[in-house]
Structure 1
Amino acid sequence: MQSTTWKFYAGTNTIGGNIIGVEYGSYRLIFDMGRVFRGDVPSFDERLRPRSALDLMAVGLAPDIAGIFQGDDRAVSMQTAIAISHCHLDHTGLLPYIRTDLPIFTSTGTHRMLQVLDAVADGPRSPLSYRAVEPEAWVHFGPFDLQFIPVDHGTPGASAIFIKTPDARLIYTGDLRLHGLHRDETERFVTIAKAFRPDVLFIEGTRSSDLGDPSENVSEHDVVRGVLEQTLHAPAGVYFNVYERHPERLHAFRRAASAANRELLLDAVTAYMYHHFEGVSDFAVWAEEEAQLPQALSRWLHDTGIKRVHTADIRGLEHLYAAQIPYNKLHYLIDIQPAQDGRYLHSDGTPLGPYDPAWMNMLRWLDYFGLEFVAMGSSGHATRSDLVNILEAIEPRVCMPIHSLQPWRIGSPQVPRIMPCISHVYSLADVANATVPTASDFNLTVL
């Protein structure tokens, strides 16, 4: 007799890189398809690039899943589809290596983001078989029915994935939060999820070690206020670094620049994404390296006539601009020679944190040019207390925490829990036998 089973290929003890496979009969649905940074294995970078997914598998940066990667000629009997919760690299980084004939289900927002990323040469750039699905609409793949429910994560199209099989109901939260500008989306997800009555809730736990005062959590509204204050009171240059896959964040910098009588100056890639997702074009764009831009981006700049500014144009005139300088453009500071007491607002752009070797190098550049580093970001992930409240509100039969360095800290004594293990095959029998965690199971002592 056929029944639903599921298996974790990656992402059980890492932040990002979630890959879960659900099977029923001869059909298999896999979600997500990301890469994760790991400091314990050889890595690839802009100079040392993988030749194929086989290279990534060889050093532990991609799981060995037969039948999904290009160049893998192993025969498999499973009919396979992939679903993507949102467009961040730790959820999509393996898409460039996926077979082009496999259906890839995404929300319409994520599909649009992937298309825009391809246009600026930062996407999968493969002719993948996308199947864009409207929010809350059901789509079918063999015995699977799946649905994308929007959540707030700060990037267009971010969604939880609901899955129905003939004998099971599963929910994958993707990444979500309650302290963003669209809290209502996550709250609506919780309401829909509770009514869905899931057997299993795969819940993210990025901030599992967050044991501090909830009032110290930085919200998107805090960022809006902070950017405005920093820009209004800056005695010299205002520079910033944002994550281009979060175009809505740029509204804070646009409004602050206007209030401070400064011109907003953006990197071309960020400007393109801001325009296409938020409909804004009252900014200038750096003119440096224009000849190296992708064709679609170069054509867009030409057609719109957006003002271009050279680094030489702002030298000595920094007070007239609020300028984005991404990490890979820090060499602009050599040409600008910023005045002392300028500020560099790091607003969740890359490098993302101290775990990245580029982080310390960024700080050295800022120190060398006398720019004050100011953290000005808001996490895309719910606090631990919010995750517990979400879990208890949904009331799944079982929760399985993932996307976390300390997943055992995510859970509730009101909800049975199974701690996931890589490659173990789970079924509804495991759900029936799951136990409720005790206080000691959470091990909330700071490690």
Structure 2
Amino acid sequence: MQCTTWKFYAGTNTIGGNIISMEYGSHRLIFDMGRAFRGDVPSFDERLQPRSAMDLMAVGLAPDIAGIFQGDDRVSSMHTAIAISHCHLDHTGLLPYVRTDLPVFTSTGTHRILQVLDAVADGPRSPLSYRPVEPETWVHFGPFHLQFVPVDHGTPGASAIFIKTPDARLVYTGDLRLHGLHRDETERFITFAREFHPDVLFIEGTRSGDLGDPSENVSEHDVTRGVLEQTVRANAGVYFNVYERHPERLHAFRCAAKAANRELVLDAVTAYMYHHFEGVSDFAVWAEEDARLPEALSRWLRDTGVKQIRPSDVCGLEHVYAAQLPYSRLHYLIDIQPADGGRYLHSDGTPLGPYDPAWANMLRWLDHFGLEFVAMGSSGHATRRDLVNILEAIEPKVCMPIHSLQPWRIGSPRIPRLMPRISHVYSLTDLSGATPPTVSSFESQAPPDEPERTTGSLS
């Protein structure tokens, strides 16, 4: 007798990189298709590039799933589709290696941003078989019925994924929060999920280690106010680093620049995305010296006639500008020669945190040129307390925490929990063994049950 089964290939004890395969009969649905930073395996960088997904598999950075990657000659009898919750790299980083004939289901918002990213050579870049789906609209793939329900995560199109099979109902939260500009979307998702009565809720737990005062949580409104205050008060250079896949965050910098009577300067790729999502072009861009720009970007620069600024133009005139300065452009400081009193507003751009080797190097550059580092970001992820409230409001039969370095800290004594294990094949029969966690387990520095936290091969 056929039944729904699912298996975790990645994302059970990392932040991001979620890859879950769900099967029923001869059909397979995989979600998401990301890459996560892992310090325990060899990594690739801008100089050391993988030649194919086979290289990523060899070092444990891609799952060994037959029949989904380009260049993999193994044949699978499974009819396979992929579903993507949102456009962040830890959920889409493996898309460039996916076979171009596999259906890739996304929300219409995620599809739109992936198309923009593809145009500027910062997305999958392969002609993937996208299947954009309107929010809260059911579509089917064989025995799977799925829909995308919007959540707030700070990037267009971010969604939870609802899945129905002949014998199961499952919800994957994707990434979500309650302290963003669109709290109502996450609250609507909670209502939908509660009424859906899921057998299993796959819930993200990025901030599982968040044990601080909830009042210290920085909201998007806090960021907007902070950016404005920092920019208006500055009497020297104002530079900032944002995640270009978060066009709404750029709005805060645009408004602050106007209030301080400064000209906003953006990286060309960021400007292209901001223009296509917000419809504005009242900014300058850093002049591109590389003649090999993507054609779409070159054409946009020509057609809009947007003003282009060189680092030497800023030298001695820093008070005129508020300029985006990504990590990859920190060498512009050599030409700018910042005056004393300048500041660098780090607003969730890359490098994302101290775990990235580039983080320490970024701080060295800022220190060398006398720029004050100012953290000016808001997490795209719900606090641990909010996650507990979300979980208890939805009240699934069982929850499975993922997307976390400490997943055992996510749960509720009211909800049975099953800690996911890499490569174990789950079905509804496994749910009978789930039990609610104890309160003491949430405070533990180590997993209460070590075998539940598998860190071995991704195959």
TM-score scaled by structure 2? 0.96
Equivalent residue for 1:268?
Answer: 268
SS of the equivalent of 1:291 reads: coil
Query: Equivalents in 1 of 2:418, 2:446: separation in Å?
Result: 22
1:209–1:446 contact (8 Å) kept in structure 2: no
Q: CA deviation at 1:171?
A: 0.2
Equivalent residue for 2:397?
Answer: 397
Equivalent residue for 2:337?
Answer: 337
SS of the equivalent of 2:346 reads: strand
Q: CA deviation at 1:292?
A: 3.7
Equivalent residue for 2:101?
Answer: 101
SS of the equivalent of 1:130 reads: strand
Equivalent residue for 2:215?
Answer: 215
Q: Deviations over 1:334-367 (max 9, x none)?
A: 1111101100000000001011110011001101
User: What one-letter code is carried by the residue in structure 2 that aligns with 1:65?
Assistant: I
Query: Equivalents in 1 of 2:257, 2:95: separation in Å?
Result: 37
Query: Equivalents in 1 of 2:116, 2:8: separation in Å?
Result: 30
Query: Equivalents in 1 of 2:403, 2:111: separation in Å?
Result: 22
Equivalent residue for 2:200?
Answer: 200
Q: CA deviation at 1:38?
A: 1.0
Gaps of 5+ in 2: 448-459
Question: Aligned runs of 1:30-429 on 2, under 5 Å?
Answer: 30-289=30-289, 291-429=291-429
SS of the equivalent of 1:323 reads: strand
Equivalent residue for 2:436?
Answer: 436
SS of the equivalent of 1:193 reads: helix
Gaps of 5+ in 1: none
SS of the equivalent of 1:254 reads: helix
User: What one-letter code is carried by the residue in structure 2 that aligns with 1:333?
Assistant: L
| Greater displacement, 157-166 / 432-441 | 432-441
Query: Equivalents in 1 of 2:257, 2:376: separation in Å?
Result: 15
Q: CA deviation at 1:125?
A: 0.7
Q: CA deviation at 1:444?
A: 4.2
Query: Equivalents in 1 of 2:424, 2:446: separation in Å?
Result: 29
Question: Aligned runs of 1:1-40 on 2, under 5 Å?
Answer: 1-40=1-40
Query: Equivalents in 1 of 2:292, 2:338: separation in Å?
Result: 25
Query: Equivalents in 2 of 1:444, 1:188: separation in Å?
Result: 32
SS of the equivalent of 2:291 reads: helix
How many aligned residue pairs are there?
Answer: 447
User: What one-letter code is carried by the residue in structure 2 that aligns with 1:227?
Assistant: V
Q: CA deviation at 1:440?
A: 2.5
Q: CA deviation at 1:435?
A: 1.1
Q: Deviations over 1:169-223 (max 9, x none)?
A: 0000000000000000000000000000000000000000000000000000000
Q: Deviations over 1:297-344 (max 9, x none)?
A: 011011011111111211111101100111001111111111011000
Query: Equivalents in 2 of 1:446, 1:18: separation in Å?
Result: 21
1:290–1:298 contact (8 Å) kept in structure 2: no
Cα distance change on mapping 1:155 and 1:27 into 2, 3 Å: same
Query: Equivalents in 1 of 2:442, 2:213: separation in Å?
Result: 18
Query: Equivalents in 2 of 1:12, 1:153: separation in Å?
Result: 20
Q: CA deviation at 1:445?
A: 5.3
| Greater displacement, 110-119 / 437-446 | 437-446
Q: Percent identity?
A: 85
Query: Equivalents in 1 of 2:67, 2:288: separation in Å?
Result: 43
1:416–1:434 contact (8 Å) kept in structure 2: yes
Query: Equivalents in 1 of 2:233, 2:291: separation in Å?
Result: 36
SS of the equivalent of 1:345 reads: strand
Query: Equivalents in 2 of 1:289, 1:40: separation in Å?
Result: 38
| Greater displacement, 433-442 / 40-49 | 433-442
SS of the equivalent of 1:276 reads: helix
Equivalent residue for 2:456?
Answer: none
User: What one-letter code is carried by the residue in structure 1 that aligns with 2:148?
Assistant: F
Q: CA deviation at 1:437?
A: 1.2
Query: Equivalents in 1 of 2:226, 2:7: separation in Å?
Result: 43
Query: Equivalents in 2 of 1:241, 1:442: separation in Å?
Result: 34
1:180–1:221 contact (8 Å) kept in structure 2: yes
Runs of 4+ with deviation above 4 angstroms: 444-447
Query: Equivalents in 1 of 2:123, 2:165: separation in Å?
Result: 31
Cα distance change on mapping 1:312 and 1:207 into 2, 3 Å: same
